[in-house]
Amino acid sequence: MSKLLNVKNLSLEIKSSNKNILKNINFDIYKSEIVSLIGESGSGKSLTALSIIRLLEKSCRITDGEINYLNKNILLLEEKKMRAIRKNEISMIFQEPMRSLNPVMNIYDQLKESYTVKNTKNIKKEIINNLVSVGISDAERVISLYPHQLSGGMKQRVMIAMAIACKPKLLIADEPTTSLDVTIQKQVLDLLLELKNKMNMSILFITHDLAVASQISDKIIVMRDGEIIEKANTTNFFKNPKNTYSKSLLDSTHYLKKENKKETNHNDNTLDIKNLRVYFEESKSFFSKQKKFIKAVDDVSIKIKTGSTHAIVGESGSGKTTVAKAVMGLAKITSGSIKIQNKDISNLSSRETINHRKNYQMIFQDPFSSLNPRMRIGAIIKEGLCFLNPEINKKEMDFLLEDVLYKVGMTNDALKKYPHEFSGGQRQRIAIARVLVLNPKLLICDEPTSSLDVTVQKQVINLLTEIQRRSNVSYLFISHDIKLVSSISDTISVMKNGKVVESGKTFDIINHTKNEYTKKLLSSVPQIIN
């Protein structure tokens, strides 16, 4: 097997602040093999990719090293020649298909650019074939469409079509599936594999998801802040990772299965949602009288016992978040009832709601936008407290803060700081502290980990379970990641297009579900194979 690409101690620095962001990277890619580049955000995997295809920002400079493509250093090529290589040899897929396609050009024009041949007649035929080959059946229709008219999966397929148009020897795929739903993700991965085999090209596959990597790649390269810390072929890697960091990565993917603690005999429900409906009125056209509705949540009923965790699973747009909002009173309920500790919140007086509110609180998805950047941590945590029980005095307050910070594993000096001084994980802890300080009976967690790196994810989840064990609070846990959910929840309901397609005990559903959709979900979740 011959070497296709060889990266030899490549180093990169940012011009303005001469700090190295890549420190001598070394790896090889052989013909028709898939190499996965794994690492958390900011580990420099994308930069490596970009420097291979030489599309780095002007702001960073290659200080040292060489990249030999078929034994000649492409870094030495002049731009013109490099273009030719991009056109015919190496091509790339980017993470965000919606942003990576030119919004004002239709698919045909965009695809056309990646062909060298001038004569348009054949090109059209080729393009259509190409699209078909990436699994777009009605290619004739699609080529005349604009990107915004396509679904995320379709876009990514088009991107792939674009990349393989020139029959490249090397395809660089930068997190090609991260922004896609699991079901779609699976299809795309399969497609890549198929293509690879068909036109035996090599793929440099960049991802943060070990499971995905394990499924497709022959070789694994783990990066961490600009350095390669482990290189191994896939099977070995997942059997016994040498590096400690790799280990932590690895075991952060599988969670300690929650020991089924004995049934809480008093079966009063912390949360009891009965046929909840939330319809949004579509902005109706100027003349037509009758209103159109988007049925975000349609006839959903959920019960949560005290101290237990209920998870809502569904793909994007399934209406799971809307349920949460409805409970928190952020979305108007069209019909149905929501009881929290047997109080129907929809008919409470404003005074009562204020008293009642401290019992149910919410943790948001993105810790970066859920903390006001202009407020000190202290103020952020206090905010709810001061408002919901004003009678509390200074001393108690300080005690409470200290206590809650301890609970979420932080120290007092945080109080004086501002959010931007913390990492994502810490922020999420703060967000938790903010609600925890009110010691609520019900916590709604809306994808609390999805925007975090895997290792951090684990810590947060652990924290949550820890909290639940101490003060037996019940969770309404919303997530798209059925794998994660299965490990921490007692009961699950699976949502699709605003409806609950299935719900019940987690164990039952994970292991022997009846429902097709659930099956699909489960099957498409990437599992680490070893």
Partner 1 sequence: MINYIVKRILYAIPILIGVNLLTFTLFFVVNSPDEVARLHLGNKRVTQEQIITWNQERGYDKPLFYNKSEKGLESFRKTIFYEKSLKLFLFDFGVSDSGRDIKYDIKQRMWPSLAIALPSLFVGLLINITIALFFVFFRTTKVDYYGVILCVALMSISSLFYIIGGQYLISKLMHLTPISGYEHGYEAIKFLILPVIISVIYGIGSGSRWYRSLFLEEIEKDYVKTARSKGLSESAVLFNHVFKNALIPILTGVVVILPLLFMGSLIVESFFGIPGLGSYTIDAIQSQDFAIVRSMVFLGTVLYIIGLILTDISYTLVDPRVRLK
Partner 2 sequence: MKKIFKNIIIIIFIVINGCSDKPLNNPYSDSNISNQNIFYSSFQERPKHLDPVRSYSSNEYAFIAQIYEPLFQYHYLKKPYELIPLTASEMPEVLYLDKNFKIAKANKNIDYTKYIIKIKKDIIYQNHPAFYKENNIYAYHDLSSKDLENIYTIKDFKLNSTRELTVDDYIYQIKRLADSKNHSPIAGVMQEYILGFKEFKDKLNKKKFSNTKSRISFVKSNDIYGIKKIDNYTFSIILKRKYPQFLYWLAMPFFSPMPWEADLFYSQNKLKKKNITLNWFPVGTGPFKLTENNPNLKMVLEKNENFRGEVYPSVLDKFKNRKYFHHNSERILPFIDKAIYSLEKEQIPRWNKFLQGYYDNSGIASDNYDQAVSLNNSGDITLTDELMTKGINLKTSIAASTYYIGFNMLDPVIGGKSDKSRLLRQAISIAIDYDEYISIFTNGRGIIAQSPIPPGIAGYQDGKTEFNKTLFNTAENNTISKKSISEAKSLLAKAGYKNGIDQKTGKPLILYFEATGAGADTYAFLNWLRKQFKKIDLQLVTRVTDYNRFQEKMINGTGQIFQWGWNADYPDPENFLFLLYGKNGKVKFGGENASNYESKKFDSLFIKMKNMKNSSERNFIIKKMLRIIQEDCPWIWGFHPKSFSLSHKWLENIENNLMANNTLKYKNINNDIRIEKINKWNKPNYLLIYFFIIIIIIFILSTFIMVRKKDKENAYD
Partner 3 sequence: MVTFLLTDIFFYIIILSLFLYIRYVINTPDILETWSYVFKNKTGILSAIVLSFFMMIAFLDSIHFKEKIYNNDKKSYVYSSEIKSLLDTILIPMYENTEKSYSSPFSGHLYTKETIKVSDKIEERDYPKLLHKGNHNKYFENNLYNIFLTLIIALAKSFLISIFIYLIIFRRTLFKKDNRMISALFDNKFLFLSVFSIISISLVLYDLSFQYYVLGTDKVGVDVLYKSIKSIRTGILIGTLTTIVMLPFAVFLGIFAGYIGGIVDDIIQYIYTTLNSIPSVLLIASAILMLQVFMANNPLEFENIYERADMRLFFLCMILGLTSWTGLCRLLRGESMKLREVEYVQASKTFGLSKFSIIVRHVMPNIMHIVIITVVLDFSALVLAEAVLSYVNIGVDPTTYSWGNMINAARLEMSREPVVWWSLFAAFLFMFILVLFANLFSDVVRDAFDPRASKHYE
Interface residue with partner 3, options 117, 256, 330, 529 (CB under 8 A)? 330
| Binding of residue 54 to partner 2 (CB under 8 A) | yes
Size of the site for partner 2 (CB under 8 A): 12
DSSP 285: -
Give the torsion sign (CA, 194, 85, 206, 3). Answer: positive
Binding of partner 1 by 88 (CB under 8 A):
yes
Q: Does 291 bind partner 1 (CB under 8 A)?
A: no
* Residues sharing a CB contact under 8 Å with residue 373, sequence separation 6 or more, in sequence order: 418, 419, 420
Instruction: Choose among partner 3, partner 1, partner 2, none what residue 420 binds, the Cβ cut-off being 5 to 8 Å by kind.
Output: partner 3
Of 14 and 256, nearer to partner 2 (C-beta) is: 14
If one asks whether residue 70 binds partner 2 (CB under 8 A), the answer comes out as no
* Separation of CA 229 from chain center: 24
Based on the shown chain and the rule CB under 8 A, indicate whether residue 372 belongs to the binding site for partner 3. yes
With CB under 8 A as the contact rule, the residue among 1, 78, 285, 351 that binds partner 2 is: 78
84 binds partner 2 (CB under 8 A): no
Contact status: 103 vs partner 1 (CB under 8 A)? yes
Per CB under 8 A, contacts with partner 3 among 417-436 are: 418, 420-421, 431, 434
**Among 36, 46, 48, 51, which residue interacts with partner 2 (rule: CB under 8 A)?**
51
Q: Which does 283 bind (CB under 5 to 8 A by kind): partner 2, partner 3, partner 1, none?
A: partner 1
Q: Facing residues of 296 across strands?
A: none
Asked if 21 interacts with partner 3 (CB under 8 A), we say no
Residues 6+ away with beta carbon under 8 Å from 9: 24, 25, 26, 64, 65
User: What tokens were used for 6?
Assistant: 């060889």
Task: Give CA angle at 397 (395, 399), nearest 5°.
Answer: 70
> Whole-number minimum distance, CB 474 to partner 1, in Å?
42
By CB under 8 A, residue 477 contacts partner 3: no
Q: Residue 230 is inside which H or E element, if any?
A: strand 227-233
Q: Which is nearer to partner 2, 75 or 105 (CB)?
A: 75
Candidate ranges 86-94, 272-280, 355-363, 465-473; the one touching partner 3 (CB under 8 A): 355-363
Q: Over the range 505-524, which residues count as b (16 or more CB within 10 Å of their CB) and which as e?
A: ebeebbeebeeebbeebbeb
365 binds partner 2 (CB under 8 A): no
CB of 459 to partner 3, least distance (A): 21
Q: How far apart, in Å, are the Cα atoms of 167 and each of 72, 164, 199, 394? A: 20, 5, 7, 69
User: Is residue 167 left, alpha or beta, with left meaning phi > 0 and alpha meaning psi from -120 to 50?
Assistant: left
* Partner whose footprint covers residue 370, from partner 2, partner 1, partner 3, none (CB < 5 to 8 Å by kind): partner 3
For partner 1, the binding residue among 58, 118, 394, 420 (CB under 8 A) is: 58
Residue 135 touches partner 3, criterion: CB under 8 A: no
**Eight-class DSSP state of 262:** P
Question: For partner 1, which is the closer residue by CB, 99 or 167?
Answer: 99
Tokens of 24: 């001598």
Residues 54, 82 contacting (CB under 8 angstroms) = yes
DSSP 480: S
What distance in Å separates the CA atoms of residue 164 and residue 90, rounded to the nearest whole number?
9
Task: Pick the closest to residue 132 from 194, 185, 89, 203 (CA basis).
Answer: 194
Q: What is the DSSP string of 72-126?
A: EEGGGS-HHHHHHHHHHTEEEE-S-HHHHS-TTS-HHHHHHTT-----HHHHHHH
Tokens of 33: 């093999």
Number of residues that bind partner 3 (CB under 8 A): 28
434 binds, among partner 1, partner 3, partner 2, none (CB under 5 to 8 A by kind): partner 3
* Residue 407 partner contact from partner 1, partner 3, partner 2, none using kind-dependent CB cut-offs of 5 to 8 Å: none
Could you list the residues that contact partner 1 (CB under 8 A)? 53, 55, 58, 79, 83-88, 91-92, 94, 96, 99-106, 113-114, 146, 148, 159, 162-163, 283, 285-287
Could you list the residues that contact partner 3 (CB under 8 A)? 16, 328-330, 353-354, 357, 361-362, 364-366, 369-375, 383-384, 387-388, 418, 420-421, 431, 434
